[in-house]
Chain A
Amino acid sequence: MSQHAEWEAVIGLEVHCQLLTKTKIFSGASTTYGAEPNTQADAVTLGLPGVLPVLNAEALNMAVKFGLAVDAQIAPRCVFARKHYFYPDLPKGYQISQYELPIVAHGHLDIEVGEQVKRIGITRAHLEEDAGKSLHENFSGMTGIDLNRAGTPLIEIVSEPDIRSSVEAVAYLKKLHQLVVFLGVCDGNMQEGSFRCDANVSVRRKGTEKFGTRTETKNINSFRYVEKAIEYEIERQIEVIESGGKIVQETRLFNPDTGETRSMRSKENANDYRYFPDPDLLPVVVTEADVARIRGQMPELPEAMRDRFMSQYGLSKYDAVTLTGERALAAYYEAVVKSSGADAKLCANWVSTDLLGALNKLGKDIATSPISADALAGLLKRIADKTISGKIAKDVFEAMCAGEGDADAIIKAKGLVQITDESAIVKAIEDVMAKNPDNVAAYRGGKDKLFGFFVGQVMKATGGKANPDALNRLLKEKLAG
């Protein structure tokens, strides 16, 4: 964080988000990640002479979905443009992108920083094709080209320079990440590059209107790196200016190993991209009926779902936020509530604490969870009908995680059914009191704290199966004498 109280950072983020289409944006080649190099490069991907692009309608749908989710304007007519530069992993010598007329413009996203809600403007989001990859390792002095990724659909989401700190930047990115994953338009996998960020950073003295000269740090692929890169860049810029220097408009690269950014190319060496409308693609017309149809396909968005969880299930904001963090998690939770018939708050505790804790330990996620929503509901049903106590349930849950079967089978096999027969509990209490006359006397003499000792002893004697409510009540009666 900046130590320099008189300075203010101005940050705008450009996020490249790969769309979850089955095929590429302008051809029928598959977009699956991780295939053998160049096995997903068809004639169009390779940019062979004579080939032509045809827009993947699903990519357009997804971009519109995103636009609607950030309350943006959907362009009734948008245009693809060619962006020219030479690089071996760019087969045609130009990238098909959008320039003057993007599909999405003038949206916003509200982020929460501490208790404050802040609105971050989204200038635009445009459709474009991804480039391939240059592989510099393992080719002894040569460069390998893998064009599998080339032509994968992207939306580039450009924020307004409304962000003022690395904390806000990360809050914005996380919110955006959650949103695109929720919408089902992006898998959000940052390591595989499905969601990556360029940060435009400048600094100015607080109270000044004019923006300082900005730098653009490219291709940062984790939330933590974004935070570090921005912090480094703010510090660096302030130091340069305070020591009498000037910021140069340039593109920089972040090095995760050192936490530093370094200059990649200056504005003077910047490409002249020579944008012009792609004559191979007609302008794309999106009618109001198209927008209405796509609006009808929109899932419930995270914020709306969070509010509903609070009102419908009586959850705290904290729990509601946790459970709506991912669409799959939210669906899991709702399935547990529905299927178990148990108290919604109890379900929330089990899902957000026990289940997520276990998944975290196992290195799994909701989709690969060893315990299905139905299975967890089966366990919670037994708590609700007092077959087992909450404490015993934890043991059953562990056994379920270990793959020992469903809740009922485990309860039966381990003889964990709760003792609700009060005469049996009374007998156990009387036995314990008979064995510990000194403690009984001490308790009756005013040592209230010994109550816990008796609870523990009775639980031990019953193998933990005594119904806790009944035990408490009966123990109090007996000890009172």
Chain B
Amino acid sequence: MNAPHQLSIRELSDGLRGKKFSSRELTQHFLKRIDTLDPQLNSLITVTAARAQRQAEAADARIARGEAGPLTGIPLIQKDIFCTQGVRTSCASQMLDRFIAPYDATIVEKLDAAGMVMLGKANMDEFAMGSSNETSWYGPVCNPWDLSRVPGGSSGGSVAAVAAGLAPVATATDTGGSIRQPAALTNLTGIKPTYGRVSRYGMIAFASSLDQAGVVARSAEDAAVVLQAMSGFDPRDSTSVERPVDDLVTGLNQPIKGLRIGLPKEYFAEGLAPGARACVEAAIKKFEELGAVIKEISLPNSPLSVPTYYVVAPAEASSNLARFDGVRYGHRAEGVKNLEDLYKKSRGEGFGAEVQRRIMIGTYVLSHGYYDAYYLKAQKVRRLIYDDFKRAFAEVDVVLGPTATDVAFKLGSKTDDPVAMYLNDIYTIAANLAGIPAMSLPCGFVDGLPVGLQLMGNYFDEARLLNVAHQYQQATNWHQQSPKGFA
């Protein structure tokens, strides 16, 4: 039998209910792997061993009573952007290094209620601002496929941990690609659902109109079962949508014959590395073999995604991060002269360079006399991007393209060039601006480094995306590859 970290969630759940192993044993297994392997990766900010033990014992008792659900007793890692009561919730910032959240995020409540066991809190880019996990105050995360390379960001800790088998699954968040790009760079399956499908309550806000929680896992099936438990209307989040959650699991096995797949020509233009292109094109062939109908489409406003995003996201971030002022919680500077000094020093010390850069951009675009030219204009362009997808989904069922322009890059290679870093998200940002669901799944390797394939769907079409991904994964084994040294 495979080791627990090589099993799917369904296999783990069957094993738990079949008494092949207990949740305590599973938890121990993963905690031990974290202990021995994470020093190479730095994927976790906080390990919550005692809490995990308690949850595992409760899960075992629940299993013994015959009350277990599909996730009861399954360990996971929470991205450190979700508030967890009694546990440090840092958002990878010095600002919140000593912040112990006094409440649980809705998704933490939901996954706890499902019986999942939290092993710890994942490293990330500071306040989720970054595409390489190099802006964390707790240091960069290394890619388990090549320790000299980035795992992508901002959910770099979540993906590194799952790719290295430190947990079966992890939560993540995606504001401009922060689930999909790191999933692509670490050979994982990651899904960002429709905006409003998963509650944002207790998820520390970066850009409120774009932020959406999701999951990174080793297969579409694993992702489906966890996303199912996370999703749903939350009266504490006014932007969550009051609409029943589709069954994401039952439909996974439906054949995809006749599925209409659109290939946006803008996603295959200049800028896509040849190796990555070859992997994506091979995947398209595979979909044709599975009976899908491939059609070229156009998303003409795609080139406007990155500039639009870098107005909207910093604007909202500059506002959302105003609460970190050193007054009630978080970092407070010592030896200040007056109130203004308290603000300047606390924020100057507590926030890293990338966060400060985005606060400044955001403050600028919202300021008097510039609002119309930047923020308002960006909102109008956003509408055009939304219209592009509306037209596309009148013709096709899903849109397919690359997730990232290339495989994982070297640590430190783009840190001095913010614009080059921002262009990492060129294929992922549009889905956030439009609010549609999107996912990344493994589709091959270039020189031993994983390449991701992106699927985008219509609003609330998560079930279809997961079905398409699962069918692809039934026909391929890219997603089953594990990085050497973490087998």
B217-262 CB contacts (< 8 Å) to partner A: 235-239
Give chain A nearest CB distance to B221 CB in angstroms: 30
A46 at interface, CB cutoff 8 A: yes
Evaluate contact between A52 and B238: CB separation under 8 angstroms.
Answer: yes
Task: List, in ascending order, chain A residues with CB within 8 A of B316's CB.
Answer: 279
Once the chains are docked, how many angstroms separate the CA of A402 from the CA of B323? 57
Task: List, in ascending order, chain B residues with CB within 8 A of A52's CB.
Answer: 200-201, 236-239
A-B interface pairs (CB < 8 A), number: 99
Evaluate contact between B205 and A50: CB separation under 8 angstroms.
Answer: yes
Give chain A nearest CB distance to B216 CB in angstroms: 20
B472 at interface, CB cutoff 8 A: no
Contact partner of A43 (CB less than 8 A), chosen from B91, B103, B209, is B103
Once the chains are docked, how many angstroms separate the CA of A92 from the CA of B236? 17
Nearest CB in chain A to that of B368: its residue:
A272
Mostly helix, strand, loop or mixed at chain B's interface?
Answer: loop
Nearest CB in chain B to that of A43: its residue:
B103
Nearest CB in chain B to that of A145: its residue:
B327
Give chain A nearest CB distance to B415 CB in angstroms: 26
* Proximity bits, B308-327, A CB within 8 Å = 1, else 0: 00000001101101111101
Contact partner of B319 (CB less than 8 A), chosen from A84, A91, A272, is A84
Evaluate contact between A50 and B367: CB separation under 8 angstroms.
Answer: no
Evaluate contact between A49 and B101: CB separation under 8 angstroms.
Answer: yes
A248 at interface, CB cutoff 8 A: no
Q: In the complex where A47-B328, A49-B91, A50-B83 touch, is A276 in contact with B238 (Cβ < 8 A)?
A: no
Contact partner of A50 (CB less than 8 A), chosen from B202, B238, B239, is B202
Interface size on B, residues (CB 8 A): 44
Nearest CB in chain A to that of B203: its residue:
A50
Evaluate contact between B368 and A91: CB separation under 8 angstroms.
Answer: no
Q: In the complex where A84-B322, A281-B238 touch, is A43 in contact with B102 (Cβ < 8 A)?
A: yes
Once the chains are docked, how many angstroms separate the CA of A440 from the CA of B203? 99
User: Max chain B CB contacts within 10 Å: which of A49, A52, A54, A281?
Assistant: A49
Evaluate contact between B238 and A54: CB separation under 8 angstroms.
Answer: yes
A390-421 CB contacts (< 8 Å) to partner B: none
Once the chains are docked, how many angstroms separate the CA of A94 from the CA of B339? 17
B55 at interface, CB cutoff 8 A: no
Nearest CB in chain A to that of B375: its residue:
A276
Give chain B nearest CB distance to A29 CB in angstroms: 13
Evaluate contact between A48 and B366: CB separation under 8 angstroms.
Answer: no
B204 at interface, CB cutoff 8 A: yes
Once the chains are docked, how many angstroms separate the CA of A145 from the CA of B327? 9
Nearest CB in chain A to that of B312: its residue:
A279
A135 at interface, CB cutoff 8 A: no
Give chain B nearest CB distance to A158 CB in angstroms: 20
Task: List, in ascending order, chain B residues with CB within 8 A of A93's CB.
Answer: 319, 321-323, 325
Evaluate contact between B201 and A49: CB separation under 8 angstroms.
Answer: no
Nearest CB in chain A to that of B316: its residue:
A279
Q: Please provide the 10 A-B residue pairs with the shortest distance between their CB atoms, ordered closest to farther.
A: A93-B322, A279-B208, A279-B209, A274-B366, A50-B202, A49-B204, A47-B323, A50-B83, A92-B323, A272-B368
A274-B363, A274-B366 known; 10 new pairs, CB 8 Å cut-off, are A43-B102, A43-B103, A49-B323, A50-B82, A50-B89, A52-B200, A84-B366, A86-B343, A274-B318, A279-B239
